[in-house]
Amino acid sequence: MIWCLAAALVIIAALAIKIYLMKRSAVEIKEQIGEKLTQDTNTPICISSTDRDMRALAAELNDKLSLLRAEYIRYSKGDAELKTAVTNISHDLRTPIAAIYGYLDFLKQEEKSEKAEEYLEIISGRTEALKQLTEELLKYSSAVSSQEQLVLEDIVINGVLEESILSYYAVMQEHGITPTINITEKRVVCKVDKKALARVYANLLNNALKYSSGDLVITLADDGTTEFSNRTDSLDKLQVEKLFDRFYTVENGKSSSGLGLSIAKVFIEQMNGNISADYIDGILKITIKF
């Protein structure tokens, strides 16, 4: 009886030790896999356990991490090549576009029929749209590649927002938009890049010009939260979810490149902020938080 009890205690002790070692291996794997996913390292996951199943698990995870690392390298290389290609193409397009503008000016000075005048106006409009798209492509490629170039410093964002609204006020009036402006009197200081933030505000105001049904409410709260809201009949919830996607445009925004809000998102995230869009009861609200 005593021998049976002793044997049972030995078995229990052995199982307890085995469970302890497996738990320690699990902790080791947990700590190392977090390190491998967040750091640029090729070192494999190593565990102290000699348990066959735990070592097989570690080996399987190393294989998957190796594949994931290869995919990440391939993605990073392709993304960098795409950005370079977009930049180069945008620069290359500037020369022929400038030449087209020159010849259009010559044609406008020539005598022509009413039909030719109509065609010339269409060509001018399409050329202007092409020029805007080219400039937006350059801005976008510059934005996604300029994280290290941003200078983050303490800026009173009240002034940046007020200047942006003032620069667009006349254009908004031409579009029949009289904005309601609610800017806190408190000095709101955020660590941002002033030029990048001004670009973001400009892009959001441009967005309001395209999609507003005639109203626009701009709010800056004490905590730095900025909101642009307006009623629009041309959007739905599914379209709003895609507003920050590259090159996405809705039906009535065909003259747009679909990059304005994408650029805004890139800049805001580089400044450690968050930008989101909501669509409730026909009102589009874009919110920025730092």
Residue 29 pLDDT: 77
What is the pTM for the complete model shown? 0.59
The full 3-state SS of the chain, as one line of letters, equals CHHHHHHHHHHHHHHHHHHHHHHHHHHHHHHHHHHHHHCCCCCCCCCCCCCHHHHHHHHHHHHHHHHHHHHHHHHHHHHHHHHHHHHHHHHHHHHHHHHHHHHHHHHHCCCCCHHHHHHHHHHHHHHHHHHHHHHHHHHHHHHHCCHHHCCCEEEEHHHHHHHHHHHHHHHHHHCCCCCEEEECCCCCEEEECHHHHHHHHHHHHHHHHHHCCCCCEEEECCCCCEEEEEECCCCCHHHHHCCCCCCCCCHHHCCCCCCHHHHHHHHHHHCCCEEEEEEECCEEEEEEEC
The mean pLDDT of 199-208, rounded to a whole number, is 89
Query: What's the pLDDT score for residue 255?
Result: 47
Give the best-scoring range by mean pLDDT among 18-32, 80-94, 215-229, 276-290: 215-229
Query: Which pLDDT does position 249 carry in this prediction?
Result: 56
Confidence of residue 180 (pLDDT cuts 50, 70, 90): very high
pLDDT in tens, 243-287: 777 655 555 444 455 577 888 888 999 899 999 988 888 888 999
pLDDT winner (highest mean) among 46-55, 100-109, 248-257: 100-109
Q: How do residues 127-174 score in pLDDT, each as one tens digit? A: 887 887 777 777 766 666 655 578 899 999 999 999 999 999 988 888
pLDDT surpassing 50 at residue 191: yes
Q: What is the pLDDT of residue 252?
A: 45
- pLDDT of 253 reads 44
User: What is the percent of the chain with per-residue pLDDT over 90, rounded to a whole number?
Assistant: 21
